Structures are given as structure tokens and as C-alpha cells.
Chain A
């Protein structure tokens, strides 16, 4: 559910919604949601001074009821920046 919610939130704010891919990774210390977006959209999901990334993390953690790590990644890259 939380991955679907994040997918919806991100798809609404990018120019290439069809290229948004969410991968959920569960590990001992919690959950990480990896968000892959089109390279042109990475600036959008991060926002000025990381404002949008922060908003996404705040809303996702609130919905999940626990701290969820959200990693924002350019689709072309193997590993990404936060």
C-alpha cells in the first residue's frame, strides 16, 4: 500500500509518469522505497534545497506510521543519490 501511495504521489508531479518505478526493500532496520524516475524528472522530485524530497518522505512516513527511507534515483543510473 505504501509503495502504491508513493507511486501516486510521484507520478502526479513528474513529466514522465510512465517511467516511475518503485521498488520496496525490506531489511532488518526497516523499509526502503527506491523511486526511479526519468533523468529529466530527478530535479522535480528533489526540489529546491531538497524541499520536494523532504515533503515526499514526510507524507510517506506519516501514512506508513513509521519511518520509511525513500531513495530517489535517476532511471539510467545503477545506484542513486538520495
Chain B
């Protein structure tokens, strides 16, 4: 990563929200300590970047040899994110909604899903019929919903986990 591991990028102009930003920075610091110690114990190299994005603390670990901490479908990454949120909650006493990424797994996935959302929206617009996508987890569905909303169409989720799917609706 280009920035130093402890550097925190925030928008200084947002003074009214400063206390919230400070709280998210604190979340990021606690989370980074928890993850850094884990990397030390397990002898893994990784640079941890802390940021604040969309009202959440966002941490990303870049190491290049961390595939096993992501898992074949991101299941290990989700588990590690869950434990990190709990560690923050234990330390600061408040629930955390922090996002964890490792070797850009989520950002790559996001790009892929946004592309799928655009393709699906085009098809729905041209046929005028709704399309049901394959089952997805909460993170994946959110990316689809957000992208569909940006395009100006509507979407909804149906079914129960783990078979919950997004349906993209015509105008």
C-alpha cells in the first residue's frame, strides 16, 4: 500500500462530525492492534491500512500471501471481520460495523458485482421483465442494490439465507 500503515485518511473539513470520525478512528486503531498481533503470532507479513469510509471504519491488509485468510469464497475473511468487530466492541463498549478487506478481495468483488448489476439492469430495461440473480451473501446483495439504485431501477431481496437472492425489477 502506498500510505504508511498507521496513517488515517479523514476529511478534516467535516468538523461537526468530528467526534464521530474520532470514534471511527479509535475503532480502526483497536482493530488494527488486534489484527497486527494476529499477523505477528502467525508469522504473516501484512501492512494494515486504516480509513474511514461511508461512516464506517475500514481496514485493509495487504500482504500478498494471505489467500488462506480470505478463504475460497471470503468465508474466512467474514469470520475474521466478525471477530475484529467483537474485539472493538469489547474494548470500546460500542457495536462496530467496521469493514475488513484482505488483498483487495472485497474491492475486486465489488467491481465484479457492479458490472453484473449494470448488465442485469440493461437486460431488464430492454426486456421489461424482472431478473432474479443467484443467491448471494449480505455484502454481495448490498453492492447489487446500491448499484441498481444508482442506475435508477429498483431491486429487492427474496428467499431465506443462504439462498437469499436479489431480484431486479423493471421500471
Please report A residues at the B interface, Cβ cutoff 8 Å. Answer: 1, 4-5, 8-9, 12-15, 44, 47, 51-52, 54-56, 58-59, 62-63, 65
Question: Residue B43 contacts which of A1, A51, A52, A54 (CB distance < 8 angstroms)?
Answer: A1
Main secondary structure of the interface of A (DSSP, over half): helix
Whether B83 contacts A5 by the Cβ 8 Å rule is: no
Whether A51 contacts B82 by the Cβ 8 Å rule is: yes
Residue of A nearest to B69 (CB): A62
* Across-interface contacts of A4 in B (CB, < 8 A): 41
Total A-B pairs, Cβ < 8 A:
59
Which of B73-81, B103-111, B142-150, B151-159 makes up part of the contact surface? B73-81
Chain B residues with a Cβ closer than 8 Å to the other chain, count: 21
Whether B68 contacts A62 by the Cβ 8 Å rule is: yes
Q: Is B71's beta carbon under 8 Å from chain A?
A: yes
* Across-interface contacts of A59 in B (CB, < 8 A): 69, 76, 79-80, 83
* Across-interface contacts of B80 in A (CB, < 8 A): 55, 59
Whether B38 contacts A5 by the Cβ 8 Å rule is: yes
